[in-house]
Amino acid sequence: MTPEQAVERLRAAGLAASAAETVVAHLVEADDAGKHGHGMTRIPWLEGLLEEERDPSARPERIERTEGFERWHGRGALGHLTLAAICDALAADPPDRARLVVAESCFPTGVLGSWARRIAEIGLVAVVTATSPRRLPHPSGGPPLTGTNPIAIAVPSSDGRPFVADVSMGAVTHGDVLAGRARPDELVPFGGPQAHKAFALAAGLELLVGALAGPEPGAVVLATRPGFDPVPGFRDLAGGRRLPGDSGRRRG
């Protein structure tokens, strides 16, 4: 499927042209970065989501703003569009020091590292996390208790290559299950015998985002100006080894 065909399919599902292009651009970037579970294979799932749960005509809204805090509401839009709007707003009006952004009703959020990278590319340190429908059980078993709850950290660099770490707490992603690359029973906290550590992070993020964004899946973004430039020195220390965020297409 070409990006143009994907845009047309999302437009047929009710999205405006600009919204469809924003979503497809994110899917293409996910594929380019090797995160195929969040790439173009998501189109049929997104079509079903737009038909059953999301409002194709909805637009995210910023409902509260101070210098250090913003609150957004997805209003039924795809979470990609809410996070794109948040990144655009931060680029248009970056914080003097730091800003915490809470997004209610923000799902699906796609590849969080992509949004964090966008923020780092305007010179801000970014931490982005989000919840999803409950998918991960306790390491000892039982029903799903938390989402896969990824967290992304992006740090700008004077060498023009931000450091971007993006980790989900699942041994596989829900996208892998949707694409048939993993079984549903493989969607458990990662770590094998140490899975309690991933579960602890997933539960902590579940409750953090829930406390700030409410009971529906949401997202939390922290953007702050750096006081130092540690990335080049860290790259030197790594001695040419690949670091998180070094692969994949660069935004231009």
Place 35 in a pLDDT band, splitting at 50, 70 and 90. Answer: confident
Could you give the C-alpha distances from 19 to 60, 78, 160, in angstroms and in order? 11, 9, 29
Which burial class, exposed, middle or buried, applies to 34 when counting CB atoms under 10 A from its CB (0-12, 13-18, 19+)? exposed
Over pLDDT 70: what percentage of the chain? Answer: 98
For residue 48, what are its two tokens? 């079903």
pTM score, two decimals? 0.92
Separation of alpha carbons 119 and 89, rounded Å: 10
Alpha carbon 36 to its chain centroid, in Å, reads: 14
Mean predicted confidence (pLDDT) in 213-226: 97
pLDDT value, residue 180: 81
pLDDT value, residue 195: 95
Place 248 in a pLDDT band, splitting at 50, 70 and 90. Answer: very low
Average per-residue pLDDT in the chain? 93
The matching CATH number, chosen from 3.30.365.10, 3.10.20.740, 3.30.1370.60, 3.20.20.140, for 58-238 is 3.30.1370.60
Residue 166's nearest CA partner among 182, 183, 148, 181 is 148
From start to end of the chain, where are the E strands? 61-65, 69-73, 98-104, 125-130, 136-138, 141-146, 151-155, 163-167, 219-224
